[in-house]
């Protein structure tokens, strides 16, 4: 399996001295779905921002398809190859219409109009929002906004996607629709989540982080059956495994 993301001894301190990542190391391959689990403040979102090139570690290395993220060219390439969907869709939707939001990335990279149209159409179809192209993004329901925010990343044709709490604040129907979208994405996925039932259903591999450290890395079902491990890091066995 070809490596998509490789992280080696990644350490990061915020300007106030807070150590958010402590020698984090892991590797994931093409098509893998990884659930990143842990309590609030574990370092999950900070790790995401490094994988997408939005932050740069104080020590250690991040490689995307073997290319180290250590310069403007490689960082720019990472943002095209590894898409990130933030927890709050309002952080990604800022254009007048759904079409404009989804087209923003491809247009920003100078793609020809026909290619932009094709990407927008395919991305909206992938998230079940084909009929929403002319709608105003901020008039949509929260679940619809979530799916449009997915489309803004899918339109960039990334090799991997990072999803930060994709099912948070959703009602059961919207949650199921979002899970279906994620399941149908045939690319490498890292999902930071407190929704352990979703992690169990969508991700064969699971990682627990706490206090900026990697605590466990293995089969999601095995990790989520380990009561003592979960309780030590602020988590609980999902109801379906009790």
pLDDT (average), residues 80-93: 90
**Which of the two residues, 53 and 213, has the higher pLDDT score?**
213
Q: List the structure tokens of 160.
A: 């991997």
Pick the CATH number of 3-241 from 3.50.50.60, 3.40.50.300, 3.30.379.10, 3.90.1150.10: 3.40.50.300
pTM here is 0.92
Return the domain boundaries, the chain: 3-241
Overall residue count recorded for the chain in this entry? 242
Split at pLDDT 50, 70, 90, the class of 1 is: low
Q: What is the pLDDT of residue 53?
A: 83
**Which of the two residues, 139 and 71, has the higher pLDDT score?**
139
Q: Answer yes or no: is pLDDT of 73 > 70.
A: no
Q: What is the pLDDT of residue 102?
A: 96
Per-residue three-class SS string for the chain: CCEEEEEEEEEEECCCCCEEEEEEEEEEECCCEEEEECCCCCCHHHHHHHHCCCCCCCEEEEEECCEECCCHHHHHHHHHHEEEECCCHHHCCCCCCHHHHHHHHHHHCCCCHHHHHHHHHHHHHHCCCHHHCCCCHHHCCHHHHHHHHHHHHHCCCCCEEEEECCCCCCCHHHHHHHHHHHHHCCCEEEEECCCHHHHHHHCCEEEEEECCEEEEEEEHHHHCCCHHHHHHCCCCCCHHHC
Which residues, listed in sequence order, are joined to residue 162 by a DSSP beta bridge?
84, 190
pLDDT in tens, 112-131: 999 999 999 999 999 999 99
Q: What is the mean pLDDT of the chain?
A: 92
């Amino acid at each position: 399996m070809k490596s998509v993301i490789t992280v080696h001894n990644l350490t990061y301190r915020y300007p106030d001295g807070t150590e958010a990542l402590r020698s984090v190391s892991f590797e994931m391959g093409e098509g893998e779905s990884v659930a990143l689990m842990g309590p609030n403040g574990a370092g999950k979102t900070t790790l995401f921002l490094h994988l997408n090139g939005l932050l740069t570690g104080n020590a250690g290395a991040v490689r995307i398809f073997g290319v180290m993220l250590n310069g403007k060219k490689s960082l720019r390439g990472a943002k095209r190859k590894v898409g990130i969907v933030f927890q709050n869709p309002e952080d990604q939707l800022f254009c007048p219409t759904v079409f404009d939001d989804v087209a923003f990335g491809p247009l920003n990279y100078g793609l020809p109009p026909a290619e932009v149209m094709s990407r927008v159409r395919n991305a909206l179809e992938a998230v079940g929002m084909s009929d929403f192209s002319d709608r105003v993004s901020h008039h949509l329901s929260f679940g619809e906004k979530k799916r449009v925010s997915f489309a803004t990343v899918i339109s960039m044709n990334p090799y991997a996607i990072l999803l930060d709490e994709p099912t948070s604040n959703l009602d059961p129907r919207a949650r199921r629709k979002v899970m279906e979208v994620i399941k149908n994405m045939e690319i490498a996925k890292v999902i930071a989540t407190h929704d352990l039932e979703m992690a169990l259903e969508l991700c064969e591999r699971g990682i627990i982080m706490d206090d900026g450290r990697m605590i466990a890395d293995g089969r999601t079902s095995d990790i989520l059956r380990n009561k003592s491990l979960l309780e030590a890091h602020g988590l609980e066995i999902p109801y379906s495994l009790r």
